[in-house]
Amino acid sequence: MHDERRRIEERVARLHDQRIKPAIYAASVPLEVAAWQAPGEPVSFEEAAAAPYAPFAMDTPWGPPWGTTWFRMNGRVPAEWAGRRVEAVIDLGFTGDWPGNQAEALVHRTDGTPLKAVNPLNQYVPIANPATGGEVIDYLVEAASNPDILANEFTAPTPLGDVRTAGDRPLYTFRRADLAVLDEEVWHLDLDLQVLRELMRELGEHDPRRHEITHALDRAMDVLDLDDVPGSATAVREALRPVLAKPAHASAHIVSGVGHAHIDSAWLWPIRETKRKTSRTFSNVTALADEYEEFVFACSQAQQYEWVRDNYPHVWERIKKSVAKGQWAPVGGMWVEADGNLPGGEALARQLIHGKRFFMDHFGIETKGVWLPDSFGYTAAYPQLAKLAGNDWFLTQKISWNQTNTFPHHTFWWEGIDGTRIFTHFPPIDTYNARFSGEEMSRAVRNYAEKGGATRSLAPFGWGDGGGGPTREIMERARRLKDLEGSAKVEIEHPDAFFAKARAEYPNAPVWVGELYLELHRATYTTQARTKQGNRRSEHLLREAELWATTAALHAPGYAYPYEKLDRLWKTVLLHQFHDILPGSSIAWVHREAEAEYARVAGELTALTGEAIAALGTGAPRVFNTSPRDRAEVVRTPEGAPVYVRVPANGSALLDPAEPPHPVTVSGGRCMENGIVRVQVTDDGTLSSVFDLRAGREVLAGPGNLLRLHTDLPNYWDAWDIDEHYRNRYTDLLEPDSVTVVEDTPLVGAIRVVRSFGKGSRITQTITVRAGSARVDFETDIDWHETEKILKAGFPVDVRAAHSSAEIQFGHIQRPTHTNTTWEAARFEVSGHRWVHIAEPGYGVAVINDSTYGHDVTRTVREDGGTTTRVGLSLVRAPRIPDPEADQGRHRLTYALLPGASIEDAVAEGYALNLPLRVADSAGEPEPVVSAEGEGVTVEAVKLADDGSGDVVVRLYESRGGRASGVLRTGFPLAGAEITDLLERPLEPARTDGNAVPVRLRPFESGR
């Protein structure tokens, strides 16, 4: 037989694209359209319905960036269309085929009921099936003219990312608003051809099945009447039926499909637009559920459900009905799909608590898995927290984006830092926006790493990132691929069902230990520093407000614990931990609003803490310590004078001066010493020496606190990525404007260094040594005006460290300092929370911070044979895409060097730096609500129980990485104690002895 594949494939392609697709809609008539441009921000349906509308013609430009235009559409179904399937077809002037980052619209009835959304891949609104003829159409369409931020593929900055800079030129040209007859037989023929053509192209050239499909397509095209495509469509489908009916091989891979619509809670659009996106997508999904009884849709992010509940009650009711029918699957159990590295431990717990509670309260469903397809790496604390929240499985996708190494598993047990394991799946289809194309199905089989051990994988299907979700075309593909020779088989089912089957067939899946590090998007630890600082500060202010509110509730008669305010503020902070807000990868509008929200949250929380302390009564000045460790340090009086005080953990003490162990001396304008550490500042503003007087050794192996300005232009994703070549070009900032002693007292010595550089940037640093502390602080004020640069502070330390330890949620993680393999080499920029620690046996040093997350650790051997381990703390970046002004302006932050530090010291000082002592008048002298005895036993949160019972909840963990035995003591009469899960549900009783609760913890175990 001659090889005619090329002729046949080209023939089929032309007939399919040029004759069959255009015949899907058999007839059409235009709708009458009028328009009203809403001023400013979106308005309610009621306001839009009462607005004056002007006639609007097709091919007319409309829609300024971020604007809203309401269209009134009227029409009548022609009588001759009786018995046909009639739809409205609306094309707003869509650009490309991505639904999420351009014009979108929601169609309403005149009573305000949302019907369905329209986007590039979902342009229809059902009218009647079958029509009787004469149906009257009267719709109000809310159209959003969101700009396409991706139009230049992130190759150039754009002003469109903020309504303040986007201008008002119309972005779109309205193309179509018609009533049309859908020819179902032609539509189905189009889908038959799509599935067969794509499958054919994926099969090998020597595969008989490929040739069978090819010739079947050729024969079918012989049946097609070019002059009457609708009239011949049934015959063409009959010709294809045998090749579509052949069942899959018995050993075919099984793809468990679940509908999905990944909706970023903010990204290339502001939060206000996400609220509307949820209504559009969820309207479409619930409509699709009515059409396809086998359809199952997985939807995460309780925050988005709450937006719909509060703003779109009709859509909310439809969701509840779909949930009740089993077609809508709440998943994920988190308030939002948060960043996987940056939220603090308590915040990550609250993500799970608030998310799971929402689904339980509103649907009576306890979600069983963590659904995080699109975060930028995943902390090794997740397995423990997920299990403590009652979860059985974990799903992610993003690790497929690794730059260097291919992750070796798709189904595996993930083991966290405490030893907890959770069953985890990583879909080999390599997308959370699957549409069951031939290429995707082939990729899922080809990639699948568990061949021979397991047979199934998950595929979230539907258009996403900006929403959109599954379409009827995707559902039709799934039906055709349910059992088709040459393809994997598609089973649509709930994620819980998939995980149950996957675990049953593969109980001895391989184990991955530690973090799931994404070898990409490493700059998300640093970009948009003010957003990150707002998050860090909010987390600690929440801790402070909860502790002192609990103290007041127990000891101040008449004080009412502010449950609702704390709940609302927590949810605001949790929302902004979304994986494109906190990482700094959103447009300017998002980060501008985030900074304003963090300022509001800080003001409210400061006021709540003040009210709680005031409730204890007014009297003498007291010092309040919110951290979990006793403190002896210098604090400022309200007048600004330094005082050395001792304050118990989670407690308070009178502002009475205590005698420090050794006074601070400043000599020669450059040297500060306090009997613990001696710090020498050079004329260039760096540290030439940090001498540990206790250990009798020099800490530094080179200039300390060396500020280095690197060129920072990644290959593609500017806000997201830092590529390793950034190291190759840099400027050391060694020419200060001034180096001046600014404080010289027995309690505080401080030297200020001012530097001007670059494009008008300026850094003012105050280097401070305090009595009684080994910590050297660098209070830093940056006025930043650079572009495509990153600023790092380097500390070359004279220790031979085999690994670094960085704080993560409820513990820390160790990472090798060598680059023996590509896996270690790929970790050239990593994340940590309040501290990073490096050590050799017998001696360690920590670098502590109050707001940064990114750092690098490198190791070199000097000519004298000694080893230098260098910590480079990432302070601020200057990407231009998607926010051209990212990080520009003022930044105030503090980091510190802690010589002679153990892990326990790093933990204590990390808390201390982030939870400064508070001075306030108070007459009350209550015992701390709870105090912990025992090394490594660390209290993370103290609050009242969420059920309003008045019970006290204490969250604690083992922080050193070893076993811990200790005692919790309460400052109130203890009636009893229980160990609970994260949702405060009792697990087992705890032994008590008076007001003491004995505690035993495994390494990094979190106790409740």
What is the torsional sign of CA 151, 155, 156, 158? positive
278 within 8 A of 269, measured Cβ to Cβ:
no
Q: What is the DSSP string of 249-266?
A: PTT--EEEEEE---B-SS
Residue 834, classed as helix, strand or coil, is coil
Question: Distance (Å, rounded) from C-alpha 979 to C-alpha 777?
Answer: 39
Secondary structure string (H, E, C) spanning 449-464: CCECCECEEEEEECEC
285 backbone dihedrals φ, ψ, rounded to 5°: -65, -45
Secondary structure string (H, E, C) spanning 680-745: EECCCCCEEEEEECCCCEECECCCECEEEEEECCCCCCCCCCCCHHHHHCEEECCCCCEEEEEEEC
Provide CB contacts within 8 A for 190, sequence distance 6+.
16, 20, 21, 24
606 backbone dihedrals φ, ψ, rounded to 5°: -60, -40
What tokens were used for 997?
A: 């609760």
Per residue in 508-525, is it b (16+ CB within 10 Å) or e — as a string? ebeebeebbbbbbbbbbb
Residue 389's nearest CA partner among 940, 992, 955 is 955
Residue 960's nearest CA partner among 1004, 990, 917, 920 is 1004
810 within 8 A of 1006, measured Cβ to Cβ:
yes
Question: Distance (Å, rounded) from C-alpha 601 to C-alpha 582?
Answer: 15
Q: Say if residue 882 is preceded by a cis peptide, omega within 30 of 0.
A: yes
Q: Which of 183, 190, 264, 374 is catalytic?
A: 374
Per residue in 934-957, is it b (16+ CB within 10 Å) or e — as a string? bebbbbbbbbbebeeeebbbbbbb
823 within 8 A of 903, measured Cβ to Cβ:
no
Provide CB contacts within 8 A for 66, sequence distance 6+.
144, 145, 146, 147, 163, 166, 270, 273
Question: Distance (Å, rounded) from C-alpha 981 to C-alpha 979?
Answer: 7
Question: Distance (Å, rounded) from C-alpha 196 to C-alpha 185?
Answer: 17
Question: Strands 136-145 and 67-76: what pairing?
Answer: antiparallel
CA-derived radius of gyration, the chain: 31
374 is catalytic: yes
List the beta bridge partners of residue 502: none
111 within 8 A of 122, measured Cβ to Cβ:
no
Tell me which amino acid residue 341 is. Answer: N
What tokens were used for 205?
A: 């050239």
Provide CB contacts within 8 A for 800, sequence distance 6+.
840, 859, 866, 867, 869
Question: Distance (Å, rounded) from C-alpha 560 to C-alpha 611?
Answer: 10
DSSP 18: I
Residue 189's nearest CA partner among 239, 226, 228 is 239
Chain center to CA of 111: 37
Secondary structure string (H, E, C) spanning 608-653: HHHHHHHHCCCCCEEEECCCCCCEEEEEECCCCCEEEEEECCCCEE
The set of catalytic residues is: 374
